[in-house]
Amino acid sequence: MSLAVLRFTGGLCIAAGVFFSFAAVVAILRFPDVYTRLHGSSKALSGGAVLILLGALPYTGTAAGAMKLVLIGAFFLVSNPMASHAIARAARKREKEENGQ
């Protein structure tokens, strides 16, 4: 288990992350309404960003840098679902209001 193997795995992770992020963009452009778009984008973007950060881990070189990446990943895992939840709720509320009028 050398650094080269770790870096190769990291590269695979980054490639997978790029694929998921690309899928998120396709979802935003192609899905018909707010909810399906959120469904596609939030999951794929969380996964994509965290995978890219994981893949960058072997390339940092310092423990402090690796720690920062882990913290950024944790921030993504907390904030991204939260934001999607808030957007979905706001969309639902607005839909109700427009149907009520």
Partner 1 sequence: MNVSLLAVLYLFIAVTALVAVLLEDLLSAFITLSFTGVLMATVFALLRAPDVALTQAIINSGLVTSLLLVAYSQTRKIPHPPEVCDECPSWLQVKVPAFVCSVLGLLLFRGLYSLAGERSLPEASVHYLARTLEETGALNVVGALLLDYRAFDTLGETTVIFASVSGVSILLSGGRRVHSGHGLSYIVKRGMALLTPFILLYAASILFLGHLTPGGGFQGGSVFATVAILMCVVYGTGFEASRISSKSKETLEAGGAILFVLVGLLGIAWGAGFLSNLPAPFSAGTPGSLLSAGSMPLLNIAVGLKVGAGLSSIFYAMIKILELEDE
H-helix or E-strand containing 101?
A: none
Residue of the chain from 12, 36, 78, 95 that contacts partner 1 (CB under 8 A)? 78
| 81 contacts 41 by C-beta, under 8 angstroms | no
Which one, 30 or 79, has the nearer CB to partner 1?
79
Is 15 one of the binding residues for partner 1 (CB under 8 A)? no
Under the binding rule (CB under 8 A), the answer on residue 85 touching partner 1 is yes
Is residue 95 at the binding interface for partner 1, with CB under 8 A as the rule?
A: no
Q: What is the 3-state secondary structure (H, E, C) of 26-94?
A: HHHHHCCCHHHHHHHHHHHHHHHHHHHHHHHHHHHCCHHHHHHHHHHHHHHHHHHHHHHHHHHHHHHHH
Name which position in 12, 67, 79, 96 contacts partner 1 (CB under 8 A).
79
For partner 1, give the closer residue by CB, 3 or 82.
82
Is residue 77 involved in binding partner 1 (CB under 8 A)? no
